[in-house]
Chain A
Amino acid sequence: QVQLVQSGSELKKPGASVKVSCKASGYTFTNYAITWVRQAPGQGLEWMGWINTNTGDPTYAQGLTGQFVFSLDTSVSTAYLQISNLKAEDTAVYYCTRGPHSWGQGTLVTVSS
């Protein structure tokens, strides 16, 4: 069965960086894109973009700043979301998804001094 397992919660100080991982299993990793979605506390879902797991090419949502970088390690069927120069407003749960059907459990990133 398809599974996406994300890394655990993170507490970071402003200005720091964080790398969230999303490990896929149960299917051929390079056959399906991985999408990233974020949800700030008490807010709705925001589509951040996707990465082509075959070519490694990322597509970012309009308005998403250069703080956010999608990457892959296909040897371990894992996608990554790196966020640099963290700000308090980056506090959110970050989800990886494979299409609409399969979602990771979410990773809470908290940015606080």
Chain B
Amino acid sequence: DIQMTQSPSTLSASVGDRVTITCRASRSISSWLAWYQQKPGKAPKLLIYEASTLETGVPSRFSGSESGTEFTLTISSLQPEDSATYYCQQYNSYSGTFGKGTKLEIK
């Protein structure tokens, strides 16, 4: 099974900061990587798919990139409403491992 190592597990940043979250896959997943935002009591919301494609309706301050088996979610200018838990997920080869999540707190 493919393992996804996500870091950091928690993050505290201020409004306007640039924030990055990283996921590393245990082997190649091509670009089959999604990023989700989840707020308490809600289903996850897709932000990015295929590593770097912004889902329709998602603010452009969110972006994704990849370098080999390392994937990054960047929030260019943090907003108060971005307080949430973020998950990566690989969806390659008929499996779908999630990272353990990053809880993002606004200072």
| Chain A interfacial positions (CB closer than 8 Å to B) | 33, 35, 37, 44-47, 50, 59, 61-62, 95, 99-101, 103-106
Contact = CB atoms under 8 A, between A and B. Distances in A.
Contacts, number: 47
Q: Binding site of B, secondary structure by majority: helix, strand, loop or mixed? A: loop
Q: Binding site of A, secondary structure by majority: helix, strand, loop or mixed? A: loop
B89 A100 contact: yes
Interface residues of B, number: 20
Contacts of B101: 44-45
B12 interface: no
A103 B94 CA distance: 17
B91 A44 contact: no
Interface of B: 1, 34, 36, 38, 43-44, 46, 49, 55, 87, 89, 91, 94-101
Contact of A44 (B46, B55, B100): B100
B94 A50 contact: yes
B57 to A, nearest CB: 12
A49 to B, nearest CB: 8
A57 B47 CA distance: 30
Most chain A beta-carbon neighbours within 10 Å: one of B43, B87, B91 = B43
